[in-house]
Amino acid sequence: AQSVTQLGSHVSVSEGALVLLRCNYSSSVPPYLFWYVQYPNQGLQLLLKYTSAATLVKGINGFEAEFKKSETSFHLTKPSAHMSDAAEYFCAVSRASGTYKYIFGTGTRLKVLA
Amino acid sequence: EAGVAQSPRYKIIEKRQSVAFWCNPISGHATLYWYQQILGQGPKLLIQFQNNGVVDDSQLPKDRFSAERLKGVDSTLKIQPAKLEDSAVYLCASSLRTGNGYTFGSGTRLTVV
């Protein structure tokens, strides 16, 4: 079975500060891991994905995440927050084979303070 | 390329009524997914199609929900009869190949009153 835990349902950062959104996963098989962003009244947009290649993954809008197998983590970071980063962020895990259905975390709402 | 199209964007119905949602995936995407996103929660998979065949419908409440994907292209999701707890955003997604990441539509927000 697979699961995802996102620590912190709400995170606030100042504009220009480091963004760190935490994601821990549980998987009995090699996982694929994803981060998605959701703006109000919109669907989910893929930020980045880990599919067993490089452990440090760079995505869109300056975000990156590092796969750490020993810590079963896939935290999302951005060096400098921008007001436009305010949104809800979802971490997801899937099997690296089989049906590939995604199991999503409960989401973290990021607020950026001026 | 055009994205995943969903309609309607919003729907308000009374409990015990029926409702249908439509999804047109990105051209050529063989895999199509329907997710339910209840307010404050992450999306939950309802059903996954590969072409016009069902791959996974283990979390679809089959007593009231049904879905089809005729000809392996667009898809409809139906709820009959609706309950208050069905109020959610229904997201459709498609993917070209496994491990590539889904592309989501904008969703249909259903309110059951």
At A2 the pLDDT is: 85
Rounded Cα–Cα distance for residues A105 and A89 (Å)? 9
Rounded mean pLDDT of chain A?
92
Tell me, yes or no, if A105 comes closer than 8 A to chain B by beta carbon: yes
Q: Does A42 touch chain B (CB under 8 A)?
A: yes
**What average pLDDT does the segment A55-70 reach?**
94
Average pLDDT on A12-36 reads: 93
With an 8 Å Cβ cutoff, are B99 and A32 in contact? yes
pLDDT on residue A99: 65
| 113 residues of chain B, pLDDT tens digit each | 679 999 999 999 999 999 999 999 999 898 999 999 998 889 999 999 988 899 889 999 999 999 999 888 999 999 999 999 999 999 999 988 755 678 999 999 999 99
Q: Which of B21, B58, B104 to mutate to test the interface with A (most CBs of A within 10 A)?
A: B104
State mean pLDDT over A12-31: 93
A65: closest CA of chain B, how far (Å): 15
CA torsion A36-B32-B41-A68 (nearest 10°) is: -40
Q: According to the model, what pLDDT value does residue A98 have?
A: 63
Those residues whose C-beta lies under 8 Å from the C-beta of residue B39, and which sit 6 or more positions away, are: B87, B88
Q: Which two tokens stand for residue B9?
A: 């964007």
CA distances from B35 to A43, A56, A104 (A): 11, 28, 10
CB contact under 8 A, B41 and A106: yes
Above 80 in pLDDT, residue A34? yes
- Of A43, A101, A107, nearest to B48 by CB-CB distance is A101
Q: Please check whether residue A106 touches B, CB under 8 A.
A: yes
pLDDT score recorded for residue B35: 96
Q: How far apart are the first and last CA of chain A?
A: 41
pLDDT above 70: residue A17:
yes
Nearest CA distance, A7 vs chain B (angstrom): 13
The pLDDT value recorded for residue A40 is 84
Predicted pLDDT at A38: 93
**Closest CB to A43 among B42, B99, B106:** B106
**What's the pLDDT at A95?**
79
